[in-house]
Structure 1
Amino acid sequence: MHVTQGRSGGLGLALLSAFAFGGSGVAAKPLIEAGFDPLHVVWLRVAGAALILLPVALRHRALLTRRPGLLLGFGALGVAGCQALYFVAISRIPVGVAILVEYLGPALLLGWVRFVQRRPVSRAAALGVMLAVAGMAGVVEIWSGLAFDPLGLLCAFGAACCQVAYFVLADHGTGGEDAPDPVAVIAHGLVIGTVVLTFFARPWEIPFSGLTHRAALGQREVPAILLIGWIVLVATVVAYLSGVMAVRRLSPQVAGVVACIEAVVGTVLAWILLGEHLGFFQVLGGTLVLCGAFVAQTSASAGGPAGKDGPGGAEPAVVPKAEPLPPAGQVEVAGAG
């Protein structure tokens, strides 16, 4: 009975995390179109969440000396790099396209395992990579010479690479009985991410008076401060924490399947709220990308192209980026969404 309740609760938390992450781009894009620099929006998101979780970071301050490399990698790549590149991407291309490009992460990770680490991958994992790559050709409409802004696509691809870089980092020394508390890693990562972003975003140049104005969310106008509040509280704090609690109750395979809903949520919300419609071949390509990500993620979790439970066991889900989840022994991190 307790197992069933725990599993049901875990599914609910994973769904909450996926929906929360999926709504970040839809809330951020109106602010960007209203005149806010994408890096300013990212800084407000990360700094606001860091302030909320600062007590956790202070309570686990010893982690800074125990795992400095892990925290710096998560803060610089998993938070600053991934989210900044994703927000720059959605300022130039549709939210749905950006989030689908980001779902090349599992395929890129398996490519790292196979060609850089020279470790074998299963046929199912290879099939997942091929599906994801083929689907991406449809998403970007490669036959028309790329239908979207090249810099926007490059930033979305860079966000996916930032995720992979952190997954590779997380494979070194994050397992075992002395694995750090994932909530503490998130808290420190947000603080470090805020510091890193400060050098690039120049928050002293943020037009804070603009937060008292309204921004166009499709055909509606909503207070800009409400959008920022959503991004900080729901799309970051709630999304990260619910993802952490979910991964502790579910297997990596199940959590990874649920996490794929983030891309669907982001695409559908952008379609409904922002009027960013995707064509037939883009929807078909996006479906292939998600199928490929799912196949790559579950085959890696089950067998382990990255070894034992590898980084190939999954993308962490707390991010950029409600991405596929890691084995329970690893540190869960967020994706870009």
Structure 2
Amino acid sequence: MSDRVKGACLTMGGAACWGISGCMGQYLFTRENMDSTWLVPIRLLLAGLLLCGYYFFKDRKQLFAPWNWKADPRNTIDLLVYGLAGVSFCQFLYFLTIQLSTAGIATILQDLSPVLILLVLCLQQRRTPRLFELCSILLALLGVFLLTTHGSLTSLAVSPAALAAGLVCACTVVIYTMWPKRLQAQYPTPLLQGWAFLLGGAAFHLIFRPWTMGYVPSAVGVIGILVVVLVGNVTAFSLYMSGVPLIGPQRASLYSFAEPVTAAILSTLLLGSPFTLWDALGFGCIFVMLVLLSLPARSGSPAK
């Protein structure tokens, strides 16, 4: 299997797992009365303990290698930025957006990250966006407009808070997609994910203090938490972040469209979330945007 095919399968598989996890998160918020400030700290901490625990028994020396300040202090700094500003805040903002809207809206707003990656690449390469890249930016803006207003200039179909959380979430995707390249060249992706989750879980427990909320999940809620942890954290991040180095962040962003599609289908069929023609048009605009942004890789230019 070529790296391109393997990378595509890994990123699509990871994205689909995120979609399943997002739909489960919507179920927990709407049917089990959970709160994102309770769910996310527990989700991150459990996932981090699972992955770090695996490496503790598999290779204890490798587990602590990224924290060897004397060997390379940049690794410690990179891991802190990647784990906290990237992965952890992405997780919190993603589930906050779901709680404020739907899983489909949250995932499609998160998928605006390729436009931000494009802008970062243009700055790094000191060039202006090409014509098709400008078209992709306009399509992204149009897609967001259709999703959030349903064509009305006087009202929003989603709350301003959900829109803001989703857009900032897209910024954090840029961080965890582009920042860890040097770390990934030295350490296994699941190990980096484990530390990122553990850092975020510890930090959010200190910030939100979920043990003071008095919430006790039902048996179904516990199963939902396990799905969110095992499918949405451990499996999804490991698959996606293993695929990105093989095909590059731009092409990976195209295949990650499996996430909003999965989330929208499941939330509509299983949870009864509305999905209108305006939503379909918005999804279509953002999908075409992703196709346009994959053109450099498809035309022979190296994926960045």
User: TM-score, normalising length from structure 2?
Assistant: 0.83
1:186 aligns with 2:204: no
Give the Cα separation in 1 of the matches to 2:124 and 2:250: 25
Change (3 A) 1:289 1:11: closer
Q: How does 1:123-142 map to 2 (within 5 A)?
A: 123-141=131-149
Note the aligned Cα RMSD (angstroms): 2.9
Which among 17, 24, 29 is matched to residue 26 of structure 2? 29
1:159 aligns with 2:169: yes
One-letter amino acid of the counterpart of residue 27, structure 1: M
Q: How does 1:46-195 map to 2 (within 5 A)?
A: 46-55=44-53, 56=55, 58=60, 59-64=62-67, 65=69, 66=72, 67-114=75-122, 118-141=126-149, 143-167=153-177, 169-170=179-180, 173-174=182-183, 179-195=186-202
Give the Cα separation in 1 of the matches to 2:29 and 2:231: 19
Q: How does 1:232-311 map to 2 (within 5 A)?
A: 232-247=229-244, 255-299=252-296
Give the Cα separation in 2 of the matches to 1:181 and 1:155: 30
Greater relative contact order (Cα 8 A, min sep 6): structure 1 or 2? 2
Give the Å deviation of 1:15: 3.5
SS of structure 2 residue aligned to 1:198? helix
Change (3 A) 1:302 1:186: farther
Asked if structure 2 preserves the Cα contact closer than 8 Å seen for 1:256 and 1:294, the reply is no
Give the Cα separation in 2 of the matches to 1:7 and 1:106: 19
Change (3 A) 1:110 1:243: closer
List gaps (5 residues or longer) in structure 1.
213-222, 314-337
Give the Å deviation of 1:77: 2.0
Give the Å deviation of 1:207: 3.9
Give the Cα separation in 2 of the matches to 1:15 and 1:110: 20
Give the Cα separation in 1 of the matches to 2:261 and 2:118: 23
Asked if structure 2 preserves the Cα contact closer than 8 Å seen for 1:10 and 1:249, the reply is yes
- Percent identity (aligned): 24
User: TM-score, normalising length from structure 1?
Assistant: 0.76
Structure with the higher helix share, 1 or 2: 2
Give the Å deviation of 1:253: 6.3
One-letter amino acid of the counterpart of residue 19, structure 2: G
SS of structure 2 residue aligned to 1:91? helix
Give the Å deviation of 1:8: 5.9
> What do residues 124-179 of structure 1 show as CA deviations (whole Å, max 9, x unaligned)?
222221211111111111524322111111111111122224445346x557xx53
Asked if structure 2 preserves the Cα contact closer than 8 Å seen for 1:125 and 1:299, the reply is no
Change (3 A) 1:17 1:268: same
**Paired residues, number:** 291
Change (3 A) 1:63 1:27: same
Give the Å deviation of 1:288: 0.6
List gaps (5 residues or longer) in structure 2.
none
Change (3 A) 1:204 1:117: farther
Change (3 A) 1:174 1:13: closer
Give the Cα separation in 2 of the matches to 1:303 and 1:130: 24
Give the Å deviation of 1:264: 0.7
SS of structure 2 residue aligned to 1:146? coil
Give the Cα separation in 2 of the matches to 1:152 and 1:170: 28
Which residue does 1:333 correspond to in 2? none
